[in-house]
């Protein structure tokens, strides 16, 4: 199986310890150390680890994947009820479904609606690192979301909740009821943070792209940094702030545009 960061074998200078914290059905902080590689059918030349899943308490599944040279999935990801979102953290990748194809570089993303399978392949000589998100689509009034591809570098930041040191980007249409989730980029300048601790029905899966922060999960504070992953369940108290001089930036998912189910 192996560690996804390739730190295998005996640890010469450390005792067995971890910053990771797992509170099933509430929250999780998952660091790169200790993540094991999984063998999943269809993923060729890929180091893949499952982050969030229903076994953790999430209604979705997040994967972190290193796609090596000639790495690919040509069997297709998703089915008639599953929608897929792919984000390129590093490198480049060809990504496509049955009606659109895109060559993505770092910061690129691709949304594939339910009923379309998503495919990818690495045609470069370098590794690509991607975040992959999968969830069951919740239909509404025969609305049909469309395939969307783009790059976060082409989307301008907006002030987050009228603060001049916290900024947000929406990767999917924010107020279109055809879409039942969105992905956002949230950036905190040095010393900036949420204006309050949030408590809401929506779930989050967040992958930290840069910087360091302190994050409150269910009224407990944790230090977090680049390449850490955070799962936040419905009604988990949450919020954070930037520490250090570098911007604290993460990409996160959020279910939206649907009423609560009974």
What CATH code is carried by the domain that includes residue 53?
2.60.120.10
- For residue 4, give the 3-state DSSP assignment: coil
Residue 2 lies in a domain: no
| Listed residue (249, 109, 104, 90) closest to 185, CA to CA | 249
Residue 132 lies in a domain: yes
What domain range is 215 assigned to? 21-255
Residue 16 lies in a domain: no
Contact 160, 136 (CB under 8 A): no
Residue 98 lies in a domain: yes
Residue 6 lies in a domain: no
pLDDT digit string, tens, across residues 1-15: 567 777 777 666 667
Residue 183 lies in a domain: yes
CA dihedral 40, 53, 51, 166 (to 10 degrees): 140
pLDDT digit string, tens, across residues 75-89: 999 999 999 999 999
Contacts of 65 by beta carbon, 8 Å cutoff, 6+ apart: 43, 46, 47, 48, 49, 129, 130, 131, 132
Encoding tokens for residue 217? 């999960």
Residues 228 and 105: their CA atoms lie apart, in Å, by 21
Residues 80 and 102: their CA atoms lie apart, in Å, by 21
- Count of domains forming the chain: 1
Residues 117 and 57: their CA atoms lie apart, in Å, by 25
Contact 203, 234 (CB under 8 A): yes
Q: Which pLDDT belongs to residue 34? A: 86
Burial profile 85-124: b = 16 or more Cβ within 10 angstroms, e = fewer: bbbbbebbbbbbbeeeebebebbbbbbbbbebbbbbbbeb
Q: Which pLDDT belongs to residue 1? A: 59
Provide, for the chain, the percentages of residues in helix, strand and coil under a 3-state DSSP scheme, each rounded to the nearest 5: 0, 50, 50
Residue 260 lies in a domain: no
Residue 262 lies in a domain: no
Encoding tokens for residue 200? 């809401």
Residues of the chain with pLDDT under 50: none
Residues 238 and 232: their CA atoms lie apart, in Å, by 8
């Amino acid at each position: 199986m192996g560690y996804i960061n390739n730190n295998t074998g005996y640890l010469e200078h450390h005792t067995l310890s971890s910053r990771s914290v797992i509170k099933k059905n509430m929250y999780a902080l998952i660091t790169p150390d200790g993540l094991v590689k999984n063998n999943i059918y269809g993923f060729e030349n890929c180091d893949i680890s499952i982050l969030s899943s229903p076994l953790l308490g999430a209604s979705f599944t997040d994967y972190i994947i290193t796609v090596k040279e000639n790495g690919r999935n040509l069997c297709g990801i998703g089915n008639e009820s599953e929608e897929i979102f792919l984000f390129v953290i590093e490198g480049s990748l060809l990504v496509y479904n049955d009606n659109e194809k895109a060559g993505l570089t770092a910061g690129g993303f691709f949304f594939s609606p339910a009923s379309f399978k998503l495919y990818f392949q690495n045609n470069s000589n370098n590794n690509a690192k991607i975040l992959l998100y999968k969830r069951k689509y919740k239909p509404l009034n025969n609305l049909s979301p469309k395939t969307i591809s783009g790059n976060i570098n082409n989307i301008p930041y907006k002030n987050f909740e009228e603060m001049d040191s916290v900024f947000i980007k929406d990767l999917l249409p924010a107020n279109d009821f055809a879409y039942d989730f969105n992905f956002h980029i949230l950036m905190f300048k040095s010393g900036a943070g949420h204006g309050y601790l949030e408590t809401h029905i929506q779930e989050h899966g967040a992958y930290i792209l840069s910087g360091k922060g302190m994050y409150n999960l269910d009224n407990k504070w944790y230090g977090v940094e680049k390449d850490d992953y955070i799962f936040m369940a419905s009604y988990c108290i949450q919020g954070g702030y930037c520490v250090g001089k570098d911007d604290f930036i993460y990409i996160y998912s959020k279910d939206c545009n649907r009423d609560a189910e009974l």
